[in-house]
Copies of this chain bind each other. A is one copy, B any other.
Amino acid sequence: MVFGYRIGGLPLTTVQRLPNYLRVVREMHRAGREVVSSARLGELLRLDPVQVRKDFGLIGIVGRPKIGFRTSELVEAIEGHLNWNRVSAAILVGAGHLGQALLGYRGFANHGLEIRAAFDLDPRSGEVHGIPVHPMHELEARLPELGARMAILTVSPEAAQEAARRLAAAGIEGIWNFTGATLDLPPAVIVQNQDIAVGLAVLSARLSAQGRVVPAPIGEVPV
């Protein structure tokens, strides 16, 4: 598999479900609801209740029979596992359309992410949505003072590898790669690919399979 497939002891699939749990459980908590059952969460998120309980067990949360899980404990545990309960500094590289949209996204505050600065070959205005945009050649010089471990990469696919190499050389530990290019970096650098083409591919394939009769495998008789 492409990377270790247990993240800090948790299965990847569990980690992927955590932000969804967090969203609805935070909402309930804010609304004053103190407990919630796995059945209710499963209904809201379209998950099997057993899966919800297994996931919660993995992050160390025990529920109470007949009662459910305490929303406050859940929020705390999930935030802790994702490290979303403290602020992480990040930079953004490539202030094009997508980069600017991410600079304007308010939701990162809920995820412990603070974009401190952006870099671009052509930093037109010098700031976007209140975040300073610096010329790309100042990257290495400015990085130390920014205290960012993580970079959001939104340059063109062609420019991706070289930008990523510079980020890695400058000490960035994790790259959130929106470019769609496959990055070749030292294994110590964590690369998280966020290629929207993948999601579009799944949607396209589901739509085009929609209503079409899937031929039964040889040897099986259609019911």
Show the binding face of A for B, using Cβ within 8 Å.
2-3, 6-10, 12, 15-16, 18-20, 23-24, 44-47, 81-84, 88, 97-98, 100-101, 104-105, 107-108, 111-113, 149-150, 173-174, 176, 180, 182, 190, 192-210, 212, 214-215
* Bound Cα distance A56, B52 (Å): 35
Give 10 A-B contacts (CB < 8 Å), ordered by A residue.
Answer: A8-B212, A8-B214, A82-B208, A83-B205, A111-B200, A176-B203, A190-B203, A192-B200, A192-B202, A194-B196
Copies of this chain, count: 2
Please give the distance in Å from A86's CB to the nearest CB on chain B: 10
The reply to whether B180 and A107 form a contact with Cβ atoms under 8 Å apart is yes
Please give the distance in Å from A220's CB to the nearest CB on chain B: 12
The reply to whether A112 and B204 form a contact with Cβ atoms under 8 Å apart is yes
**Residues in B neighbouring A16, C-beta threshold 8 A:** 198, 201-202
Please give the distance in Å from A219's CB to the nearest CB on chain B: 15
Chain B residue with Cβ nearest A14:
B205
**Residues in B neighbouring A7, C-beta threshold 8 A:** 202, 205-206, 209
| A-B complex: 8 closest residue pairs judged by Cβ atoms | A8-B209, A101-B101, A192-B203, A83-B208, A97-B101, A19-B197, A97-B104, A194-B199
